[in-house]
């Protein structure tokens, strides 16, 4: 992982600080600090209702889920790039998901968001577990995908000019576009 005092090539952060930040983010995501607000807007017909508190659902394969989460969180800060699918080139949302699963589990996934949104069985918000995919889009379609980390949070590559980041499923934009989850780790 490099010398602890020299910057990581992908993020520019000192390696020791990067490892500590990734470990802290994962611990916070899995340990239950944070949690959702007790008040949610009334559900809109045709949209998925989100829970007031995100239940802790154990992944079916904890080792695989941990590997996926650690790799996804280590990529936070990588630049967004349409069509990107490596840390060196940057990522778009589907490129990030495909890269993480290929890199950590040697699992080839489809390259498009629409194809990813059809993989595995669907999972509702109260059954979503770490390592599951979360899909978003306007009613009736899907245009974004990320990796769920727990406590209502997910890692994704959101848009041009941005970077891979950790956001909340129930954040202002995402809650309005949440379409559900897909279970890949079985």
DSSP symbols for 135-158: EE-STT---EEEEEEETTEEEE--
Using DSSP's 3-state secondary structure scheme, residue 166 falls into: strand
Which is more confident, 57 or 15?
Answer: 57
What's the chain's average pLDDT? Answer: 81
**Does 156 qualify as catalytic in the annotation?**
yes
Q: Are 73 and 166 in contact (CB under 8 A)?
A: yes
Distance CA 160, CA 39 (A): 32
129-138 burial: b if 16+ Cβ within 10 Å, else e:
bbbbbbbbbe
Identified catalytic residue from 5, 33, 93, 177: 93
Mean of the pLDDT values across residues 66-95? 97
Strand partners, 166: 155
Binned at pLDDT 50, 70 and 90, residue 25 comes out as: very low
Is 93 annotated as catalytic?
A: yes
Going by C-alpha positions, the residue among 24, 147, 164, 137 that lies closest to residue 81 is 164
Helix, strand, or coil here: 177?
A: helix
pLDDT at residue 46, as a whole number: 59
pLDDT value of position 1: 40
Q: Cα–Cα distance between 174 and 136 in angstroms, integer?
A: 7
Does residue 144 carry a catalytic annotation?
A: yes
CATH number of the domain to which 94 belongs: 3.90.1720.10
Longest dimension (CA), the chain: 53
- Whether residue 44 lies inside any domain: the answer is no
Residue 3 lies in a domain: no
* pLDDT at residue 184 greater than cutoff 70: yes
Q: What is the pLDDT of residues 109-138, one digit of tens each?
A: 999 999 999 999 999 999 999 999 999 999
Residue 2 lies in a domain: no
Query: What pLDDT, on the 0 to 100 scale, is given for residue 35?
Result: 31
Residue 142 lies in a domain: yes
Q: How far apart are CA 4 and CA 8, in angstroms?
A: 9
Query: Do residues 168 and 177 touch, judged by C-beta distance below 8 A?
Result: no
Q: Look at residue 10 and tell me if it is in a domain.
A: no
User: How many separate domains does the chain show?
Assistant: 1
Identify whether 54 is part of a domain.
yes
Q: How many residues does the chain have?
A: 186
Q: How would you classify the pairing of strands 165-168 and 90-91?
A: unpaired
Buried b (16+ CB within 10 A) or exposed e, 92-125: bbbbbbbbbbebbbeeebeeebeebbebeeebeb
Q: Which residue range forms the structural domain that includes residue 72?
A: 15-38+50-182
* Higher-scoring residue by pLDDT: 41, 77: 77
In a domain, 8, yes or no: no
Q: Considering the candidates 5, 33, 156, 177, report the single residue annotated as catalytic.
A: 156
User: Residue 159: inside a domain, yes or no?
Assistant: yes
């Amino acid at each position: 992982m490099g010398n602890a005092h020299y910057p990581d090539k992908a993020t520019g952060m000192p390696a020791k600080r990067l490892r500590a930040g990734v470990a802290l983010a994962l611990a916070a995501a899995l340990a239950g600090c944070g949690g959702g607000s007790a008040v949610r807007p009334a559900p809109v017909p045709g949209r998925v209702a989100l829970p007031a508190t995100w239940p802790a659902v154990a992944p079916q394969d904890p080792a695989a889920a941990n590997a996926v989460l650690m790799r996804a969180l280590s990529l936070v800060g990588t630049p967004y790039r349409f069509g990107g699918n490596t840390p060196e080139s940057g990522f778009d949302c589907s490129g990030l998901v495909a890269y993480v699963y290929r890199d950590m589990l040697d699992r080839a996934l489809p390259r498009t968001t629409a194809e990813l949104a059809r993989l595995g069985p669907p999972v509702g918000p109260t059954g979503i577990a770490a390592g599951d995919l979360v899909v978003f889009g306007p009613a009736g379609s899907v245009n974004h995908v990320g990796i769920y980390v727990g406590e209502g949070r997910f890692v994704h590559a959101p848009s041009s000019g941005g970077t891979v980041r950790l956001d909340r499923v129930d954040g202002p934009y995402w809650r309005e576009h949440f379409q559900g989850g897909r279970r890949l780790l079985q």
